[in-house]
Amino acid sequence: MSLDILNLTDRTPTEEARRQVEICNACRYCEGYCAVFPAITKQRAFADGDITQLANLCHNCRGCYYACQYTAPHEFDLNLPGILAEVRQDSWDRYAWPKPFAGAFQRKGTPIAVALIIGLALLFLALTALRPASGEGFYAYLSHGGMVAIFAPAFLLPLATIGIGLRRYWAEVGGQRITFAHLRDAVAATANMRNLGGGQGQGCNFEEGDRYSNRRRVAHQLVMYGFLLCFASTSSGTVLHYGFGLEAPYGLFSLPKLLGVPGGLLLTIGAGWLIRLKLQSDRDLGAASAWGGEVAFVLLLGLTGLTGLALYATTGTALVGPLLAIHLGTVLTFFLTTPYSKMVHGFYRLAALIRDAQVRL
């Protein structure tokens, strides 16, 4: 082994990932673990865009690390999940727009989230003091028009920002025209999270070292489906309001509540479970520099669900005003930080799965 190969300190994350991927391609012991390894075997040379694609295709289940015979203290010193996590984080920072915000949440996620929640909650609390002339439920504290004026731009502008990043990503990884078959395959992989199944469905090794576990897969599914139910709840309320003239508040057996209450429960439980698993995991097998930001993101997700449930539980009491301000501040913080928090991984992961389907199908 040459000294140049062993000198890892001068390599960029992409260069170090390329070195490790080339060794994996020669070994191929982990070929059945997840979508990353079949993708590796289809190539002999790896451009920067190929490494970026592999990094975003990786779900950081860590099974390959514990199966690998070339991890430290072997001279190859492989840590594929760790280096791909660093490349993945670096790619999100490169694609982020505007650039000055790139990486800020990953480095100081908790103080940023706390400061935004407190500041926005105080702002909403001040607004609720100026009660509208009419309105029921939450709209007795803040008018429907006021909420739309605040949250519509806060939702749409981050999506536009993410769209800019996805376009840059798609160009770098050589993405082609998306067909229905590509999209169907990627959505199916996302829905059942098959890449967190350890290749054989027994789970991954995220929190228990070399022991398989499906806990992280289930916790991810709770969060994902909880979030989708909450989003569907809000969407159904919008349809009822504008399409049928049925205005909030809605009863317990209305569609917004039937979707939102289970969604909030799943989101809160799943986020709490993910935090626990993350605290049990080995930081060196992920993006260590972004660990705090990742924890802050999951806490923000859980707090979104928890404050929503608390707000519903206290309907008709004096707590509604303060809790409404905290909940709206939390939701608005979540929206505004989406392009720069780990929430963006969902968009890039889906894009990576679509690109993978294009190569396979």
Q: Mark which of 94, 124, 158 sits at the end of a domain.
A: 94
Residue pointed to by tokens 């859980």? 302
Cβ atoms of 84 and 309 within 8 Å: the answer is no
The yes-or-no verdict on residue 357 having pLDDT over 60 is yes
Q: What is the pLDDT of residue 251?
A: 86
Which neighbouring-strand residues pair with 204?
Answer: 213
Same domain for 57 and 125:
no
Q: Mark which of 94, 119, 134 sits at the end of a domain.
A: 94
Same domain for 133 and 42:
no
Q: What is the pLDDT of residue 199?
A: 65
Cβ atoms of 151 and 332 within 8 Å: the answer is yes
Same domain for 104 and 90:
no
Q: Which helix (H) or strand (E) holds 259?
A: helix 255-280
Q: What is the pLDDT of residue 14?
A: 96
Token pair for residue 85? 């996590």
User: What is the rounded distance in angstroms from the CA atom of residue 225 to the CA atom of residue 346?
Assistant: 13
64-99 per-position pLDDT tens digit? 999 999 999 999 999 999 999 999 999 999 999 998
Same domain for 57 and 182:
no
Same domain for 281 and 212:
yes
Number of H-type helices and E-type strands within the chain: 14, 0
Number of domains in the chain: 2
Same domain for 335 and 228:
yes
Q: What is the pLDDT of residue 1?
A: 41
Q: What is the pLDDT of residue 133?
A: 65
The yes-or-no verdict on residue 3 having pLDDT over 60 is no
The yes-or-no verdict on residue 6 having pLDDT over 50 is no
Q: Mark which of 94, 116, 143 sits at the end of a domain.
A: 94
The yes-or-no verdict on residue 9 having pLDDT over 90 is no
User: What is the rounded distance in angstroms from the CA atom of residue 258 to the CA atom of residue 251?
Assistant: 9
Burial (CB < 10 A; 0-12, 13-18, 19+), residue 38, is: middle
The backbone torsions φ and ψ at residue 97, rounded to the nearest 5 degrees and listed phi first, read: -140, 135
Same domain for 232 and 178:
yes
pLDDT (average), residues 339-351: 96
Q: Which of 105-109, 220-224, 309-313 has the lowest mean pLDDT?
A: 105-109
> Which has the closest alpha carbon to 329: 147, 153, 161?
147
Q: What is the pLDDT of residue 2?
A: 41
Same domain for 256 and 289:
yes
Same domain for 133 and 147:
yes
Query: What separation in angstroms does the CA of 355 have from each of 25, 169, 184, 190, 262?
Result: 20, 11, 12, 13, 33
Q: Which of 47-51, 99-103, 148-152, 276-280 has the lowest mean pLDDT?
A: 99-103
pTM summary value: 0.91
Query: Which domain CATH number covers 216?
Result: 1.20.950
> Which has the closest alpha carbon to 231: 170, 322, 151?
151
Query: For residue 158, how many other CB atoms are within 10 A of its CB?
Result: 19
Q: Which of 7-11, 228-232, 311-315 has the lowest mean pLDDT?
A: 7-11
State which residues form the domain around 172.
98-360
Q: How confident is the model at residue 345 (pLDDT cuts 50, 70, 90)?
A: very high
The backbone torsions φ and ψ at residue 170, rounded to the nearest 5 degrees and listed phi first, read: -60, -40
316-341 per-position pLDDT tens digit? 888 988 999 999 999 999 999 999 99
Same domain for 193 and 61:
no
Token pair for residue 13? 């994350």
User: What is the rounded distance in angstroms from the CA atom of residue 216 to the CA atom of residue 235?
Assistant: 28
Q: How confident is the model at residue 8 (pLDDT cuts 50, 70, 90)?
A: low
Same domain for 119 and 16:
no
The yes-or-no verdict on residue 130 having pLDDT over 90 is no
The yes-or-no verdict on residue 134 having pLDDT over 90 is no
pLDDT (average), residues 162-168: 97
Same domain for 103 and 83:
no
